[in-house]
A = this chain, B = another copy of it.
Amino acid sequence: MLYVVGLGPGGQEQMTFEAQEAIKSCETIVGYVTYMRLVQELTEGKEIVCTGMKQEIDRCQKAIDIAMTGKNVAVISSGDAGVYGMAGLILELISSQEKELEVRVIPGVTASLGGAAILGAPLMNDFCHISLSDLMTPWPVIEKRLHAASEADFVICLYNPRSKGRPHHLRKALDIMSQYKDKQTVVGIAKDVGRSKEQVIVTTIEELDETLVNMTTIVIIGNKDTYVSNGRMITPRGYTV
C-alpha cells in the first residue's frame, strides 16, 4: 500500500488523525528533507528516504518501487498532497508504467485554507487557486487565468507567488488583476503558516510590498466586497448582518 499524505500547513497540530495513522502504519516514509523534520516524532525507527528540492520524480519513483516490494510506504507532502503536490505525480507514474499498486491519498489542510484562517475569513465566496510558477505551466496560460479570475471577481489564492528565480511574477500578476480589480482591493499575506515564525500582513493591491513575499508565503487577493475589520480580512458571504 502506498499512502500519499498531506501534513497540513505547519506543525503536527494541523495534521489530521488519519494522516498520523497512515504514517504510523508504514515501514517506510519518503519525503522532502524539510517535511521529514515536521514528523520526526512519528517516524522513529522507520526507513526514511529523503530527497532534496526539485527531485519530485525521483522521490515518487522511489516510493513506488519500495511499495511494489510489498512494503507499506507513505509519501509525505506539506499542505494537501493533492494540491500542486505529490498525489498526481504518483498516480501519473503508476499509470504510465502500468503498475498495479494500491494508492490512498490522505487529504490535508492546504496552504490557502491555513492562510485564510489566520487572516480572517477571505474565502467565504467563490475563489480560485493559481500557481505563479511557470516551471510546468506556460506563463501565457497563467496570465489567461489571472485575467479570467479577476474579471469574474473571484477571490484569488496565489501559490508559489515569488521566488529568487521568479522575482517579478507577483508584480506582473498584480498588474493584470489591477485591470479589473480596484487597486484598493484587500490583499492578505500569510507567511510560514503554522510554524513558529508565522506572520500575517493585510494590505492592498497597490500597497503590497512584494519583497515580503517568498515561496513559503500564500497571497490571497479579495473580491470587490472584501473588507478589513479589526485587522481581519473578511469576504462577505451575502448574509444581511
Contacts and interface: CB of A to CB of B under 8 A. Distances in A.
Nearest to A128: B128
A89 B239 CA distance: 8
B124 A229 contact: no
A196 interface: no
Contact of A12 (B17, B122, B149): B17
Contact of A108 (B91, B113, B237): B113
Given A154-B145, A239-B57, A106 B113 contact: no
Interface in A95-130: 95-96, 103, 105-110, 113-114, 116-118, 120-130
Contacts of A83: 113, 116, 123-124
A113 B82 contact: yes
The 4 tightest CB contacts between A and B, nearest first, are A136-B238, A128-B128, A88-B124, A148-B152
A109 B16 contact: yes
Interface string A2-17: 0000101100111111
Given A107-B114, A120-B105, A92 B16 contact: no
A16 B18 contact: no
A108 B109 contact: yes
Contacts of A192: none
A15 B16 CA distance: 5
12 contacts: A6-B113, A15-B16, A15-B17, A88-B236, A88-B237, A89-B239, A92-B239, A107-B109, A109-B109, A125-B131, A126-B142, A145-B152
A175 interface: no
A82 B117 contact: yes
A141 B224 CA distance: 12
Contacts of A149: 128, 148-149, 152, 154
Contact of A126 (B110, B117, B137): B137
A27 interface: no
Nearest to A85: B124
